[in-house]
Amino acid sequence: MKKVSTVLVENLKRLGISHVFGIPGKAIVPLLVECEIQDLQFVLSRHESGSGFAAAGYAQTKGLGVALGTSGPGGTNLLTSAGQAKAYHSPTLFITGQPSAKDTGKAQGQDSSIFGTDLVRMFESVTLFSARVDRGDQLEVFLKHAIEKATNGVKGPVHLSIPMDVLQEEISDFIVEIPTLKSSVISNQIETVISKLNEAGKPVLLLGKGVHLSKAYKEVRWLVEQWQVPVMTTPGGKGTFPTNHPLSLGAYGLGGNEKATKYLKKRVDQMIVIGSKLSDMSLAGFSEAVYPKHLIHFDLDPTFIQKSIPIPTLYIQGDIKANLVEIQRKTKLDRIDIKRVSLFSEENENLDDIQESETYLSAKVAIKELRKYLPNDAVLFGDDGSHTFYAIKYYDIYEPGTFYFDDVFGTMGHAIGYSIGAKVASPDKTVVCLTGDGCTFMHGTEIATAVDQNLPVIFIVFNNVALDMVDKGMKKMLGHSIGATYQHALDVKLFASSLGAASYRCRKTEDIENAIGQALKNYTGPTVIEIMVDPEEIPPILNRV
């Protein structure tokens, strides 16, 4: 017989977990003790939301992440990161404590039961499964079910609340494994897809975040080249296809470019959507005037199929990669026979009309400069704000799987934690966080976590002394902005230095070259690069209705 905490940690280690993220509290002390005994690294975050973000970022690479929080406010602080993990379809196990199961119903500090702050019910709407373990013998079935829900099918976060006295109960040992489906679900409409691709006169491919989730980069590229289909990416699909490919139209939707828009105006007859919910951000600028005649929609989750674009749709349900492999297996098409209308010639961005200043840089110029000096395979996590929409439009992708952004839930500051977790999971990769001063105000203290863990994450902060996306949006909507600018600016360089990070401030392009060069040489901890950007520059976000 072993303690519940012992069996739980043993199973986490068997599942390949090397680090868990969280903040200590009385209710989870038995679990922390067991982590120490079994050498499961506990990463102390600065806020529970930050630990949840880091665990989800870790899961992007490792396949499963774990965040620990104490009862009451520890749990409620994790809720936002659980909602973000659900939007990312990030398989993350959130474990929260509870003072005592046997004392349920009595007044207890930080009570998380139905008599206090009912964390199980709170987590239900932001996870795929949420349950309380009231007895030690329940752990096996609840943990197995949680891991199964998190890692199979439509992946995402799960939650278990475990009281302190239950963690110390003794139970029989058991082993939990990540279940693997013997075969992925293949649509019975594959032949129809092949037929429609063969018949299409002017098709276009729209790639979403689901391509990242299925790791179907090679299969997508094969389809593109086999049928010579031009490619657009949604904001969440940025990074799924190289922008220097001759069939790339670049980004569409919020942060999209003119090349993609012009192509759609030539009346596409067949649109192939792969892995996108087609949210308002993905369809910004999309109107009935450019509706295609027909749509083929690949996605595992049928929830939003044919709800955003009311046109005839062929839904291909199942794992994206598996279905594309099946198309590849069945097709005998010779791409030499496919002739398409040639794409528009690449439009050169004119930067001559951008006003230079000794005080700040154009955000557009800053993104292009960053792309010059960051490695081609650097993995960038974009935070929620206009800074990332500049990147969606202007940051070139050379290798798929190197740019991540959420266009659904949109938590400001989440990318700071995600980049930390990603670096823990992939220490050999260059990991970059692109964020803003508003996001840094919210979750910038997590940089101290990177300092403590000696993680050389590169944090790039665009500072324009405002919540820029909201500011510009309100000015368009109302004619003026309300409460979106700061009366006292955040000194990002000084703030980062106070946390122990190497820090630089950039006002000129040569400053960026120097700062990135120094950051890439910093193997002992994080580097924060503050870029002062033009507060009056209009970001590419105003095409959203």
Q: Any residues with CB less than 8 A from the CB of 445 and at least 6 apart, and which?
A: 46, 47, 50, 499
Q: What percent of the chain is modeled with pLDDT above 70?
A: 92
Report the CATH fold assignment for 190-337: Rossmann fold (3.40.50)
In the prediction, which pLDDT does 334 show?
47
The whole-number average pLDDT for the span 312-319 is 92
What is the structure's pLDDT at 335? Answer: 47
**Which among 236, 181, 162 is positioned nearest to 206, based on CA atoms?**
236
Token pair listed for 287? 């109107």
Q: Mean of the per-residue pLDDT values for the chain?
A: 91
Cα–Cα dist 475/497, whole Å: 34
Rounded Cα distance between 142 and 249, Å, is 46
User: Is 148 strand, coil or helix?
Assistant: helix
Cβ-count burial 308-339 (b if 16+ within 10 Å, e if not): ebeeebbebbbbbbbbbbbbeeebeeeeeeee
- Mean pLDDT, rounded, for 16-41: 96
CA atoms within 13 A on the CB side of 214: 29
State the pLDDT at residue 348. 52
Work out the average pLDDT over 20-46: 96
The per-residue pLDDT for 382 is 97
pLDDT at 503: 97
Confidence (pLDDT) at 526:
98
Interacting residues of 386 by C-beta distance below 8 A, sequence separation 6+: 363, 436, 462, 468, 469, 472, 539, 541
Q: 294-308: per-residue pLDDT in tens?
A: 999 999 888 888 888
d(CA 435, CA 133): 38
Distance of CA 192 to the CA centre of its chain: 33
- In this chain, the answer to whether the domains covering 2-171 and 363-532 adopt an identical fold is yes
381: burial class by Cβ within 10 Å (0-12, 13-18, 19+)? buried
Residue 28 has pLDDT above 50, yes or no: yes
* The pLDDT value given to residue 73: 94
524 φ/ψ angles, rounded to the nearest 5 degrees: -110, -5
Residue 113 pLDDT greater than 80, yes or no:
no
Res 112 pLDDT > 90: no
Bridge-based pairing of strands 527-532 and 502-506 is parallel
pLDDT in tens, 463-475: 999 988 888 888 8
Average pLDDT on 312-339 reads 81
Contact criterion met (CB below 8 Å) for 94 and 159: yes
In sequence order, what are the beta bridge partners of 382? 434
343 or 246, higher pLDDT: 246
User: Are 470 and 497 in contact, with CB atoms under 8 Å apart?
Assistant: no
Res 287: pLDDT: 87
pLDDT digits (tens, 9 = 90+) for 330-376: 986 544 455 554 555 445 555 555 555 778 999 999 999 999 999 99
Q: Would you say the pTM of this structure is higher than 0.85?
A: yes
What does the pLDDT look like over 408-443, one tens digit per residue? 898 999 999 999 999 999 999 999 999 999 999 999
Which fold is adopted by the domain 363-532?
Rossmann fold (3.40.50)
CATH of region 2-171:
3.40.50.970
* Phi, psi angles (nearest 5°) of residue 243: -75, -15
Q: Where are the domains of the chain?
A: 2-171, 190-337, 363-532
Residue 59 phi/psi, 5° resolution? -65, -25
Q: What is the pLDDT, as a whole number, of residue 336?
A: 41
Contact 462, 395 (CB under 8 A): no
